[in-house]
Structure 1
Amino acid sequence: MSSPGGSTLDRRLGVFDTVTIGLGSMIGAGIFVALAPAAAAAGSGLLIGLAVAAVVAVCNAMSSARLAARYPQSGGTYVYGRERLGPFWGHAAGWSFIVGKTASCAAMALTVGFYAWPEYANAVAVASVVALTAVGYAGVQRSAALTRIIVALVLAVLAMVVVVLLGFGGADTSRLALGDDVTVYGVLQAAGLLFFAFAGYARIATLGEEVRDPARTIPRAVALALVIALMVYAVVAVAVVSELGVAGLASATAPLSDAVRAAGFPGLTPVVNVGAAIAALGALLALLLGVSRTTLAMARDRYLPAGLAAVHPKHGTPHHAEVAVGLVVAVVAAFVDLRGAIGFSSFGVLLYYAIANASAWTLGARLIPAIGLVGCLVLAFTLPLTSVLAGAAVVLVGMIAYTIGGTR
């Protein structure tokens, strides 16, 4: 148990809860948010983009799992980069993660608002952040329990959508065929946007200090969460494209709801909307947990205010970090643009994983880290130009601040 006023977290999570936290982040983000902008970028090459994103995600997951088993501490690639490459790269990874995932949190909060009450999306987004910050503050076990419920409900809704579209709708598999609109740049940009949806397994690594038997639990949890998410993504993407076509998907503001309506079942639209809101809540909860744990790790090393390293004597949670992260996300969610946030987030997180792969390179068995490193950098810099410029500027600010502040 953590000592009163200390900064050590309790190991409470087993394989099932750890997998669930990863799934809660991945499924909510990808199915209900990332498919439409990815379709706009890739055209009929959407499924190729999904496959490219999956390959990069698998490489990143394998590299992260190896590192997390060796360094079972909160902080993820911030810790790995620091230990394997040096303090500068650890700081760069941590800063990229916090910046990118703060944008992800805001995007998920806005997704809740958009589906639950679109006229007041920003207000609902802020309220969601406040509520889930309180859940995380009360203890990670309660957060994991809530995520279990959310994931089960979302998977049930997605199964219903697939059955309706493929079994009773107007799905046409010819809509999956490649057209002359496919370009390498478009496919890579779509893969970068879809990577936003696959990055949930990072939550598993950032919770490393709260996982029982991390050397075994973390690699198993990462593999299971990623395989399940990949299967869900592929099946749902095929069903939606078969119903709407790529052009219809690209222009959709609520792709799954639009697909169910197009299939002739408008009465199911509210069910899908509720499922989307619940999915986004699950993703937001898992993301808030991950960002607060990385904040904790950086505060321990005095790269962020030392007060953020405090651990609650009763709940065993980094309560100062959780409150600080919640406040920042709530403010961002009041103003952020949803699709812009996806690209911005992807840029930061892809840089984060590039450093993870570079760290794993130092462990030997270098083929997978090499593919992951090159893949992350290529996808990061083929994102929409505004996302690249904004993301690069913010990451550069963090690096300059580190350089001016000196090593700790």
Structure 2
Amino acid sequence: MTASDPGLRRTLGVGDAVVIGLGSMVGAGIFAALAPAAHAAGSGLLLGLAVAAVVAYCNAMSSARLAALYPASGGTYVYGRERLGEFWGYLAGWSFVVGKTASCAAMALTVGTYVWPGQAHAVAVAAVVALTAVNYGGVQKSAWLTRVIVAVVLAVLAAVVVGCLVSGEADAGRLDIGASDGVGGVLQAAGLLFFAFAGYARIATLGEEVRDPARTIPRAIPLALGIALVVYAGVAVAVLSVLGSDGLGDATAPLADAVRAAGMPWLVPVVRIGAAVAALGSLLALILGVSRTTLAMARDRHLPGALAVVHPRFQVPHRAELAVGAVVAVLAATVDVRGAIGFSSFGVLAYYAVANASAWTLDSAPTARVVPVVGLLGCAVLAFSLPGVSVVVGAGVLVVGVLAYGVRRWVRAGAGKG
């Protein structure tokens, strides 16, 4: 680091890191991915959740081991570069930035849909602008706000679970796993639900901003993932017991529909507020993570070098944050929320495939390689089990990134000869 680029400030402890991870996960999964996953899997939704959790656990363990060795901003972009070579690091970074930018847009639109359905795009853009400003002021402010958001969301979800399960409409027969729509549907649901688990990546991408990263990151990642899994399972069981898989699959606002069906219409406005707050928390952490990966790629000149500057006072990558905020605002004004989920899942699964391949190189012992192998194969299977449009568009965007990398190398080689 130089005097003009002082680096990022290490202010986050284990609790802060866990909260940032939870802020990313609970908003995305519960309020955005349950309905399309139920539509894909039927009553196999719970099986899909279990498969997604296994793949996410493998990814989390691989990420935690790598983050302890390479505590720098960028996450798998850094791990792939260090363990597999420059190209694989670049591919991971490209997948993450593109996929998670789509996630940002999806979360912003979720806020707009719940706050003011008639002006969802305008509200989404306003949310992006406001949270970009919060992140600009420093990561500790972001962690504090995320802590408040997570507390509110968990309270709302607890009310939904208790309300549904104690109502006279709850029926355990609606949880029949044997009525699933086949292996393909379960895998597609798992791929969509993986979108909900990917928030722990925020912890790894904040490697330069946590205290004692070798200890903090390996503890925070599995802890955040475990808490999120318990929350997801509880909410999925409660909502399925009231709506059934068909009702859940057709719902546009599944948790609101569930409490209404359970005979608690007074709780619907609370759920709507909780959904908006959850999506805000997810959006806050997503912008934080994408900007840090942008910073790391800009440092290596895979993205414009001007984005690598760290603010001398706030010690945040302010140009990267502003650039990410601007792109997300444009997308939030134009895209569709459901299409963004599948596209984001494809990009993030590609990102974690590189993470698992990187972790595979850490130890030659066969037992130590079980987790990264399962994670790598799981990412590949889930990515290509997603809806066809998501696979085609996601693969196309990755190809664009590869071509950009090749052109850049060719230009560099030509300049070197000159």
Corresponding position of 1:55: 54
CA distance in 1, matches of 2:33, 2:55: 16
Letter paired with 1:402: Y
Corresponding position of 2:416: none
Task: Give 1:267 deviation, angstroms.
Answer: 1.1
Identity %: 73
Q: What secondary structure sits across from 2:123 in the alignment? A: helix
CA distance in 2, matches of 1:46, 1:150: 27
Task: Give 1:5 deviation, angstroms.
Answer: 2.8
Task: Give 1:142 deviation, angstroms.
Answer: 0.2
Confirm or deny: 8 A CA contact 2:103 2:341 kept in the other structure: yes
2:404 aligned to 392, 398, 401, which one? Answer: 401
Confirm or deny: 8 A CA contact 2:40 2:181 kept in the other structure: no
Task: Give 1:3 deviation, angstroms.
Answer: 6.2
Aligned residues: 407
Report Cα offsets for 1:284-325 as digits up to 9, x if no partner: 000000000000000000000001001001101000000000
The yes-or-no answer on 1:6 pairing with 2:5 is yes
Q: What secondary structure sits across from 1:406 in the alignment? A: helix
Report Cα offsets for 1:182-214 as digits up to 9, x if no partner: 211110000000000000000000001101000
Report Cα offsets for 1:64-120 as digits up to 9, x if no partner: 000000000000000000000000000000000000000000000000000111000
CA distance in 2, matches of 1:250, 1:325: 33
Corresponding position of 1:71: 70
Confirm or deny: 8 A CA contact 1:7 1:310 kept in the other structure: no
Q: What secondary structure sits across from 2:282 in the alignment? A: helix
CA distance in 1, matches of 2:284, 2:330: 17
State the TM-score, normalizing by the size of structure 1. 0.98
CA distance in 2, matches of 1:370, 1:43: 29
CA distance in 2, matches of 1:119, 1:3: 49
| Gap runs ≥5 in structure 1 | none
Task: Give 1:229 deviation, angstroms.
Answer: 0.2
CA distance in 1, matches of 2:287, 2:207: 15
State the TM-score, normalizing by the size of structure 2. 0.96
Corresponding position of 2:373: 370
Superposed counterparts of 1:214-293, under 5 Å: 214-293=213-292
The runs of at least 4 consecutive aligned structure 1 residues that moved more than 4 Å come to none
Task: Give 1:353 deviation, angstroms.
Answer: 0.1
Task: Give 1:404 deviation, angstroms.
Answer: 1.4
CA distance in 2, matches of 1:45, 1:403: 42
Confirm or deny: 8 A CA contact 2:77 2:93 kept in the other structure: yes
Task: Give 1:169 deviation, angstroms.
Answer: 4.4
Corresponding position of 2:297: 298
Task: Give 1:33 deviation, angstroms.
Answer: 0.6
| Two-structure CA RMSD over aligned residues (Å) | 1.1
Corresponding position of 2:415: none
CA distance in 2, matches of 1:276, 1:169: 25
CA 169–298 in structure 1, closer or farther in 2 if over 3 Å, else same: farther
CA distance in 1, matches of 2:286, 2:2: 26
